[in-house]
Amino acid sequence: MNKRNTEWTKKAKDISTDLHNEITIKNEEWHIFRNNPQRRSAELLTAAIVQLLRNGSNKEVLEKIELSLRWLKNEIKDPGCSGH
């Protein structure tokens, strides 16, 4: 975990978590949105924001942002469910 000089308010942390929870693709939506690059990218970006505000590691934040960019560039697709 990185110590940053920026201290975020509880409200900012809660709002970012609420946004991430709202954007995250739920199990019942998975087959609808699993290959939607905008949805997948937004999910990863909100996760990165939550990590930043909760002092997550720079490595984890950057990985989420880079993966988000790959989704937007259509460089990756979901491999699908192994049971289908």
Rounded-to-integer distance, Cα 78 and Cα 62, Å: 20
pLDDT band of 84, cuts 50, 70, 90: low
CA 29 distance to own-chain centroid: 16
CA 6 distance to own-chain centroid: 21
pTM: 0.85
Encode pLDDT of 37-82 as tens digits: 999 999 999 999 999 999 999 999 999 999 999 999 999 888 777 6
